[in-house]
Amino acid sequence: MNSLLLKNVVLGGKNVDVLIVDGCFRSIAGRIDVPAEKVIDGGGHLALCAPFFNAHVHAAMTLLRGYADDMELFTWLQEYIWPIEAKLTGEDVYWGTRLAILEMIHSGTVFFADMYWHHDEVIRAVEDTGIRAAVGLLFICADGKLLERNEHANRELLARRDSLSDRILVTYAPHAIYTVAEPVLRDVAEEAAQNNLPIHIHVSETAREVEECRAAHGGMTPIAYLDSLGILGPRTVLAHCVHLTDGDIELIQERRAVIAHMPCSNMKLCSGRFRYHDAVERGGCRIAIGTDGASSNNNLSMLEEVKFAALSAKIESNLPTAGKASDLFAAATRGGAEAYGIDSGVIAEGKPADAMLVELNHPRMIGDYHLEANLVYSADSSCIDTVICAGRVLMEHGRIDGENEVLDAARRCCRRLARA
């Protein structure tokens, strides 16, 4: 039996003890006096909070942070990102993913949904660190046909998905409608349904994408086009969704698909403003929060992302009441977990023990009227003291084992890429 006892932590404005056994919250009470393998004393100044679930990221792109900035999306992708990604080795992806995980843990994240190459190396990084992840089966086509290396890697991972850690799930991850041919998208929809796996795809990110889709598919928007292929459903995560019509919003809501909102990347690439108020508050669409990759954000802090999500909701709708802190914190925690079918993102007895401890004795956390408001509008990574995933302590009092090794190895990868 693995056990962890959190003593004197703040939950719901009260000081409590929390017993975690075999990866789940066993008991939450005013006082718990039982032996445990490990004890962390919150001293009455560490708040126990739900951690973040990053709904969309390209983790290993930490190695490309700052490589190509201040560009339009398609120029950025076609002339800079895709050429240098072709030079990435499996070892690069391993250390780039380790670097991403390090950064995410420091900012309170216990899960990420990845869409990238070299599945085995991503999985190795996840297994080595104890975090949760959704590893995407990447689909990209050339001349209408799925890239051979994608097809081989995807089949291999599908064949062994049942042997993976229970912290790792597999998704179908067709890149986008402009990089995946229609027959392949139809196959993805059929296979995902047969295998009962989520689908994770970029969609309606730019005005150009929408215009080209309408021209190629009889006036259909990207959302309508995906629906016609059987892609949309309650296990579909739609990354970006910047350019949505009212009809798109109704369709997403009807199909119960999830929008992964990434305001920082949307703003940096000048993709546009997501209609948060119309889609979520009025339209009833499900929403989660993601960071996108570190080459288009340029960090992986969900704390920063929820603040930008709140601010962009207000400025886009011209309503200061839009994008409430409590709603966006829920989207970044429970919303991300639910999007990928994980029964987590809340602090409650019987739930998986995923959590972060936030330092309340921090300049950014005082005044202390509303904890969630402070987390959304004020906090940064320095406020995150401890991170727990499935009952395992990933970071304690700001320290992560092996951090310097990861930093050194990732820097070596970057220097090699710079010479390539």
pLDDT, tens only, 235-290? 999 999 999 999 999 999 999 999 999 999 999 999 999 999 999 999 999 999 99
**How confident is the model at residue 82, as a pLDDT?**
86
Residue 420 has pLDDT above 80, yes or no: no
Residue 1 has pLDDT above 80, yes or no: no
User: What's the CATH code, domain 52-339?
Assistant: 3.20.20.140
**How confident is the model at residue 233, as a pLDDT?**
98
Residues 34-90: tens digit of each pLDDT: 999 999 999 999 999 999 999 999 999 999 999 989 988 788 888 998 899 889 999
User: What's the CATH code, domain 3-49+352-403?
Assistant: 2.30.40.10
Predicted model pTM: 0.97
CATH topology identical between 3-49+352-403 and 52-339:
no
**How confident is the model at residue 180, as a pLDDT?**
97
**How confident is the model at residue 105, as a pLDDT?**
98
The helix (run of H) or strand (run of E) holding residue 248 is helix 246-255
Q: pLDDT confidence of 330, banded at 50, 70, 90? A: very high
Domain boundaries, the chain: 3-49+352-403, 52-339
> Residue 97 corresponds to which amino acid?
T
* Torsion 102-293-146-186 (CA) sign: positive
Number of other CB atoms surrounding residue 179 within 10 Å: 16
Residues 163-179: tens digit of each pLDDT: 999 999 999 999 999 99
User: 120-124 contacts: CB < 8 A, separation 24 or more?
Assistant: 120/90, 120/157, 121/90, 121/91, 121/93, 121/94, 121/97, 122/59, 122/60, 122/93, 122/94, 122/97, 123/164, 123/168, 124/94
**How confident is the model at residue 340, as a pLDDT?**
98
Q: Taking the mean position of all CA atoms in its chain, how far away is CA 334?
A: 12
**How confident is the model at residue 366, as a pLDDT?**
97
**How confident is the model at residue 150, as a pLDDT?**
86
What is the percent of the chain with per-residue pLDDT over 90, rounded to a whole number?
93
**How confident is the model at residue 365, as a pLDDT?**
98
